[in-house]
Amino acid sequence: MADDSARRVVVVGAGFAGLACARSLSRDPQVAVTLIDKHPYQLFAPLLYQVATGGLPEDDIAYPVRAAIPGIHFVRGEVVRIDPSANSVRLASGLDVEWDDLVLAMGSIGNSFNISGVDAHALQMKDISQARAIKHRLLGTYERVQEGEQAREDLQVAVIGGGPTGVEVAGAIAELQKQMAHEFPQIAEYANVTLVEAGPRLLPSFSPKSSERARRALTKLGVEVVLDSVVDRMYPTDIHLKNGRILSAGTTIWAAGVAVEERWRVLGEADRLKPARGGRLPAPDGQRVGHR
């Protein structure tokens, strides 16, 4: 238990980075750790695609934060303002939490790259609610097409982004479509999934051998892999690529990169730091941004 003279460290975000930091610091009796997150659980984000395709229930990838690190001070709340001059953060509830050191580990949001129509028509997959929305869309479309409420073409699915998330979700959807064929044999032939990647290969951060292995595995599952194709604009059921091709899709899942939330970019502006790609904040001095 930290005493009154302990250094107050506030960690914002109970993801992998935030929990690892809080757990490590909690071992020091001279440090008093406060962990803040708007959810009372840690999300195992790598398995969100399983929730989105019905492979796992939500509870299987969400773990109580309070049980993860017994003894730390956990505050459930959403940070709406950071005041570096006063060494405090304000929560949506109005509560101010003071700190000697502040660790920001809030994670990221999907990056639409300001492409027209993406925010309005594509589904993201960054949290449980978004994964739930994808599952409801995928399964509900079968029911509505079967009842004649939607066009059969709406069973077509497009996944944009050939990184790990895009590859995983495209493969899982292909597997789901095979399973749904037993329940909806009359319309199963109209279901397919297309994976679109802007670059020349899937999994660009992996080795070329791994990229090719992933492409072959997806093709074997029935996924159409489209490479060297950049999205130009998007409509409710159409995706226009810059090469002139138009894809039809009743469901479009956007997995083409991440960015920082807009409200946190002011941290860089306060220090005259120009945000890098995706809104990332340069932190050349010990990974430190903002003023003390």
Ramachandran class of 80: left when φ > 0, alpha when ψ lies in -120 to 50, beta otherwise = alpha
Q: What is the rounded distance in angstroms from the CA atom of residue 4 to the CA atom of residue 88?
A: 18
Q: Give the distance, in angstroms, between the CA of residue 84 and the centroid of all CA atoms in the same chain.
A: 28
- Concatenating the DSSP letter of every residue in 53-84 gives TTSS-GGGGEEEHHHHSTTSEEEE--EEEEET
CB 101 within 8 A of CB 288: no
The residue whose two tokens read 């302990």 is 6
Task: Give the active site residues.
Answer: 168
Q: Which amino acid is at 147?
A: E
Closest by Cα among 52, 250, 22, 44 to 156: 250
Q: What is the rounded distance in angstroms from the CA atom of residue 159 to the CA atom of residue 240?
A: 13
Q: Within 13 A of 230's CA, how many CA atoms are on the CB side?
A: 8
Closest by Cα among 37, 31, 32 to 16: 37
> Strands 224-226 and 192-196, how do they pair?
parallel
